[in-house]
Amino acid sequence: MNALAGTSRNFRLASRLLGLDSKLEKSLLIPFREIKVECTIPKDDGTLVSYVGFRIQHDNARGPMKGGIRYHPEVDPDEVNALAQLMTWKTAVADIPYGGAKGGIGCSPRDLSKSELERLTRVFTQKIHDLIGIHTDVPAPDMGTNAQTMAWILDEYSKFHGHSPAVVTGKPIDLGGSLGREAATGRGVVYATEALLAEYWKAVKGLTFIIQGFGNVGSWVARLIHERGGKVIAVSDVTGAVKNQNGIDIPQLLKHKEATGSLTGFSGGDSLDPSELLVHECDVLVPCALGGVLNRENAAHVKAKFIIEAANHPTDPEADEILSKKGVIILPDIYANAGGVTVSYFEWVQNIQGFMWDEDKVNKELKRYMTQAFHNIKTMCQTHHCNLRMGAFTLGVNRVARATLLRGWEA
């Protein structure tokens, strides 16, 4: 089941639990605006090439729309739609005053030079500049884009609208980016994990963790768990997997990966078949990579007691049912990985005020938001007698539905 089908299914289940009116339910699913633009640029060799760019603005009942821009060959309107909708519920779960959006360009960033990427980003911004804005729609980096991409968007947008640092988040620090933004998603995952474990009278210290994915999110999760005395016993990424039953020395592994660009050949652990990683014995499994990695083929063999969804949509609905029957506690992606968008919100606030925070304040506020959101999810679980995934979806959908009704959606 793809991300769109999975998200829509969870939305409908939540909507039934909340007893939403069928007309309101339908209106909440329909995107506010779908934008499609042709971006034609000269390549470095002088030839012209054209790419299709999208921006799907899903909902603005609770505030400006928010969501990443991805550069990937498989960017298509269906996937972008699902992710825009997911952002609407995610910002509501975190209780930050945003709606949801998502965008992208169907291109292969690796095949483009830096100057070609800059031209493409600027043309895309020229085509959509009057449809995004500080109080309208605030983009951020996603797959295939980064702080540099945001700097180009900011510069191009400012040519039309004057200096506007708050139009994008995830910017370089020198252009008004927030301290703590790079670590935010991973740090939020750890705060979410601590909130969940506290419910079971447990702490990170002394528990065993397995982390799938060692990019920005996975490496920060590993580092912060290691600092808190948790034992990371296995880690994987596209280059391979490494395990050490006594706990991997994460700072050493980070140095090794930086030096070699790979996890393989690390002297502080043994290599492991990446396909075995998800079903290896541990207390807490943290998928930080791709969607759909837990499915009906492997779900029955998962031995973890807790699964923290740091990736988007890592658990298929079939796997969800199998794992729930086994008594595995799943902390859903819609909440677990909301640290990134929460600190994006802090960046936006700092830009609007023209007053920057220190890193301690960013992390303290992030912890407060993540902990509060967890308690709100638990309240919904008790009210509707449901699991954490439905607790999060009912919390998010209910907030958006209430804002929509208060604004007078039928007028």
Query: What is the tens place of the pLDDT at every residue in 223-272?
Result: 999 999 999 999 998 888 899 999 899 999 999 998 888 888 888 888 88
The verdict on whether residue 185 carries a ligand-binding annotation is yes
Helices 216-227 and 184-199: angle between axes, nearest 10 degrees: 50
Residue percentage of the chain with pLDDT more than 90 = 76
Of all helices (H) and strands (E), which one includes residue 392?
A: helix 388-407
Contacts of 170 (CB under 8 A, 6+ apart): 140, 141, 146, 147, 150, 177, 181, 344, 347
The CA distance from 60 to 46, in Å, is 41
Q: What is the pTM of this model?
A: 0.93
The CA distance from 395 to 317, in Å, is 19
Task: Render pLDDT for 137-194 as a digit per residue (tens, 0 to 9).
Answer: 999 998 889 999 999 999 999 999 999 999 999 999 999 999 998 899 999 999 999 9
Res 83: pLDDT: 86
Res 41: pLDDT: 95
Average pLDDT, stretch 125-141?
96
The CA distance from 25 to 394, in Å, is 12
Res 1: pLDDT: 52
Does the annotation count 102 as an active-site position? yes
Q: Catalytic residue, from 23, 43, 102, 171: name it.
A: 102
The verdict on whether residue 236 carries a ligand-binding annotation is no
The CA distance from 64 to 236, in Å, is 37
Placement of tokens 């528990």 in the chain: 207
* Phi/psi at 309 (5° precision): -85, 85
Res 348: pLDDT: 97
Task: Render pLDDT for 201-219 as a digit per residue (tens, 0 to 9).
Answer: 999 998 999 999 988 899 9
Res 273: pLDDT: 85
CA 109, distance to chain mean position in Å, is 20
The verdict on whether residue 262 carries a ligand-binding annotation is no
